Amino acid sequence: MPSDFEDLDDNPSNPSVGRRPTIGDVINRRYSRRSAVKGMFGTLAIAGIGPGLAACATVEPGEFREKEFRELDRGVDTTHHVAPGHHAEVLIRWGDPLFDGVGAFDPMRQSAEDQERRFGYNNDYVGFVPLPAEARGEQRGLLCVNHEYSIADLMLPGVAGRETTAAECEIEKAAHGGSIVEVVRRRGTWSYIPGSRYNRRITARTGIALTGPAAGSSRLATSADPTGRTVTGTLNNCAGGITPWGAYLLAEENFNGYFFGTVTGPEAANHKRYGVPGGWYVWGKYDARFDIGREPNEPNRFGWIVEVDPMDPDSPPKKRTALGRFKHEGAESVHNRDGRVVVYSGDDQAFDYVYKFVTAGRFDPRNPDSGRDLLDEGTLYVARFDADGAMEWLPLIHGQGPLTAANGFAGQADVLIETRRAADLLGATPMDRPEDVEPDPNSGRVYVMLTNNIARTAGDLNAANPRANSAFGHIIEIVETDGDFASTRSTWSILVRCGDPAVAEVGALWGPGTSANGWFGSPDTVAIDGEGRLWVATDGSEVLNRCANGIWSVETKGVVRGCSKLFFRNPTGAEVCGPRFTPDGETLFVAVQHPGDDGEGYPPHGRPSTFADPSTRWPDFDPRMPPRPAVLAVTRTGGGRIGD
Ligand code: FEO
Ligand code: CA
Ligand code: CA
Ligand code: CA
């Protein structure tokens, strides 16, 4: 989530460390996009690309692998760029028709019913479920793509400067959720298949079952659903995951932003801990369930992990409450060697936590049905990172330690609904906004993207979050003991501290050979290739980073550990999401989210970006089209694995 929403999102809600100190306000003003615009092209203290890092004797800047791709130069403009020797082609865009009988997209004639039959807005997570080829030489699969949120000013004509109407709010709801779409690669080129029997939209209007220990809790009951077992819709689906049995997981992240009103009853403290109500949308004006004064339990029905079977378009999506309720960034999983499945998830808020869920049952790949409902039973753990490099995964189990009736937890349902408060009581380590948490099944290691936390002060530091006013974030590597992802005692270290290494006050730390183009800020999502290299997608400020968001490859092994190179660059205003490799490593799917957002932050535009007057019309560059979030397929010219 970017710009304005992300600034709101930075406000900590963890009461143990969650104040916003004066120094934080000062730094925030200094580092905010808009106040730093002047500095980008002027004389901001941190500006000025340095001469490049001092490379170690054996490693030249940007050239630390023989045969590897040549990196891009940093910069910002209205289109995307990929490293020489690679192609990036648009595969599918917001508004593209998914079903038979749906015509070409006309942005001047939008309706909720029409949007529900098209690819949604603001593509974020990208999953890929392979399908058998139907002809020689082709490659097929299902792309599972999240649509995190809507930006009315950019996607709807005539809205800039006024409130959205009831009908426009319904279009926004229909543009949320996820898309499942069949894709095929023929003669080297990817395309999607309109009308495929697998194509499906899930939106903020789709009926979804609640399952697992919290389902049926009185705290999940509302006037529309007295049983507490059926929710309308999913919200703010940021990243996600594909399970070992091929299910698509959509994480619900900043659900707080959709609610407004005031609540004074028993849920007041719970809602405060989650930042409810955020008041970012006016949906509650027309739809009572988003008004917490009228429906105080409705927010408890969001903040979960949603599971969908992409192979069965009629299967009901399920919110799996056993995985806890927080601002789930994603839900990447791994099949552990003992057969259990481990799902990692970050809670993306300043001073919140890193979690993993270990299933009680085992998955047998010879029997895909053994994955059915596996996510309804298991143990949720939260991470405590110790100063000596050890760490402990602390179980959130009702009746253990402080998680008792005396502390207001009547049962496991309460522990899950109030996951954050349970984790506070267990003494979890408050982190610098955990985004993607990605296990590498080949190495037994897990990588945690910590995007930034400008509210952290010198008094809040801990070994795993060692910088005050961390504007650029860092990446932690966890080594699960003996490669056992279910282990409860592990070790950790910091792989890189992000930011410009040429500016001492930033405190950045990169591997030798990282060039002036190789550093980045605000790591968000990540893919790991077969060699253990990270492909880190960023969601930061173009002004602070003096570069559009992009994808950087980061080495994790040997003398080049921590070396980073710029592979892909976004058009202005966008964050980059996905990224997702095909199993053969020859295609990288890249989601470009909110192109053309934050026009004030892009000096050649220098004013708000709107439907009528956007900072870029990427990717169509058609004067009748606003900018369109889109998924690209990146391949190597002439074939072969990406980045080789
Ligand atoms: Fe939606 Fe945490 O980025
Ligand atoms: Ca983000
Ligand atoms: Ca994200
Ligand atoms: Ca990922």
pLDDT in tens, 372-410: 999 999 999 999 999 999 999 999 999 999 999 999 999
pLDDT in tens, 633-643: 999 999 999 98
Give the type of residue at 426.
L
* Residue nearest to ligand 1 atom 3, measured at CA: 1
What is the 1 CA–ligand 3 centroid distance (Å)?
Answer: 6
- DSSP notation for 385-407: E-TTSEEEEEE--TTSTT-SGGG
What b/e string do you get for 594-614 counting C-beta neighbours within 10 Å, with b at 16 or more?
A: bbbbbbbbbbebeebbbbeeb
What is the 281 CA–ligand 1 centroid distance (Å)?
Answer: 17
Q: What is the mean pLDDT of the chain?
A: 92
287 Cβ inside 6 Å of ligand 1: no
Token pair for 230: 């059926």
pLDDT in tens, 194-214: 999 999 999 999 999 999 999
What is the 237 CA–ligand 3 centroid distance (Å)?
Answer: 9
Cα–Cα–Cα angle for 192, 194, 200, rounded to 5 degrees: 95
308 Cβ inside 6 Å of ligand 1: no
What is the 310 CA–ligand 3 centroid distance (Å)?
Answer: 22
Torsion sign (Cα): 472, 151, 95, 610: negative
SS3 label, residue 26: helix
This prediction has a pTM of 0.93
Token pair for 494: 């910091």
d(CA 372, CA 310): 13
d(CA 573, CA 602): 8
pLDDT at 8: 55
- DSSP notation for 451-507: --BTT--GGG-BTTB--TTBSS-EEEEEE-GGG-TT-SEEEEEEEEE-S-TTSGGG-
Token pair for 192: 């999607």
pLDDT at 449: 98
Token pair for 223: 């006037």
SS3 label, residue 441: coil
253 Cβ inside 6 Å of ligand 1: yes
pLDDT at 368: 87
Give the type of residue at 520.
F
Q: Is the pLDDT of residue 4 over 60?
A: no
6 Cβ inside 6 Å of ligand 1: no
Report which of residues 124 and 33 the model is more confident about: 124
d(CA 315, CA 202): 11
436 Cβ inside 6 Å of ligand 1: no
pLDDT in tens, 596-626: 999 999 999 999 999 999 999 999 999 999 9
591 Cβ inside 6 Å of ligand 1: no
- 254 Cα nearest atom in ligand 1: 1
36 in Cβ contact with 541 (< 8 Å): yes
d(CA 76, CA 447): 28
Closest ligand to Cα 333:
4
Give the pLDDT band of residue 644 (cuts 50, 70, 90).
Answer: confident
SS3 label, residue 201: strand
- 9 Cα nearest atom in ligand 1: 2
The radius of gyration of the chain's CA atoms, rounded to the nearest angstrom, is 23
Torsion sign (Cα): 162, 167, 168, 172: positive
Closest ligand to Cα 148:
1
- DSSP alpha helices (H): ranges in 3-124? 3-9, 22-31, 33-40, 112-115
d(CA 579, CA 632): 10
Token pair for 391: 């760490």
Q: Is the pLDDT of residue 22 over 50?
A: no
Token pair for 132: 């058998």
pLDDT in tens, 439-484: 999 999 999 999 999 999 999 999 999 999 999 999 999 999 999 9
- 238 Cα nearest atom in ligand 1: 1
* Residue nearest to ligand 1 atom 1, measured at CA: 1
d(CA 124, CA 178): 9
What is the 429 CA–ligand 1 centroid distance (Å)?
Answer: 20
What is the 310 CA–ligand 4 centroid distance (Å)?
Answer: 18
d(CA 87, CA 80): 11
Q: What is the DSSP letter of 157?
A: T
Beta-carbon contacts of 459 under 8 Å, excluding residues fewer than 6 positions away, are: none
435 Cβ inside 6 Å of ligand 1: yes
348 Cβ inside 6 Å of ligand 1: yes
- 148 Cα nearest atom in ligand 1: 1
pLDDT at 52: 30
Average pLDDT over residues 153-170: 97
d(CA 581, CA 126): 10
pLDDT in tens, 34-79: 333 333 322 222 222 222 333 322 455 555 554 579 999 999 999 9
Q: Is the pLDDT of residue 248 over 70?
A: yes
SS3 label, residue 344: strand
329 Cβ inside 6 Å of ligand 1: yes
- 348 Cα nearest atom in ligand 1: 2
pLDDT at 47: 26
Percent of the chain with pLDDT over 90: 89
Please list the residues that pair with 146 across neighbouring strands: 178
Average pLDDT over residues 555-566: 95
Closest ligand to Cα 534:
4
What is the 257 CA–ligand 1 centroid distance (Å)?
Answer: 13
- Per the listing, tokens 């080495």 go with 555
d(CA 82, CA 89): 10
d(CA 126, CA 124): 7
Q: Is the pLDDT of residue 323 over 90?
A: yes
pLDDT at 260: 94
- 239 Cα nearest atom in ligand 1: 1
535 in Cβ contact with 126 (< 8 Å): no
What is the 477 CA–ligand 1 centroid distance (Å)?
Answer: 20
Name the helix (H) or strand (E) containing 116: none
Give the pLDDT band of residue 13 (cuts 50, 70, 90).
Answer: confident
Peptide bond into 619 cis (omega under 30): yes
What is the 223 CA–ligand 3 centroid distance (Å)?
Answer: 33
User: How many helices (H) and strands (E) in the chain?
Assistant: 11, 29
pLDDT at 60: 52
Nearest Cα to Cα of residue 307 among 414, 421, 423, 180:
180
Average pLDDT over residues 25-33: 36
**Protein residues near ligand 4, an ion, with CB under 5 A:** 436, 438, 525
238 Cβ inside 6 Å of ligand 1: yes
What is the 549 CA–ligand 1 centroid distance (Å)?
Answer: 14
Cα–Cα–Cα angle for 177, 286, 108, rounded to 5 degrees: 60
Token pair for 207: 């009926």
252 Cβ inside 6 Å of ligand 1: no
Peptide bond into 277 cis (omega under 30): yes
170 Cβ inside 6 Å of ligand 1: no
What is the 32 CA–ligand 4 centroid distance (Å)?
Answer: 27
What is the 242 CA–ligand 4 centroid distance (Å)?
Answer: 10
d(CA 352, CA 562): 25
d(CA 605, CA 582): 37
- 327 Cα nearest atom in ligand 1: 2
Beta-carbon contacts of 28 under 8 Å, excluding residues fewer than 6 positions away, are: 7, 10, 454, 455
Q: Is 344 exposed, middle or buried (0-12, 13-18, 19+ CB in 10 A)?
A: buried
pLDDT in tens, 492-516: 999 999 999 999 999 999 998 899 9
What is the 2 CA–ligand 2 centroid distance (Å)?
Answer: 6
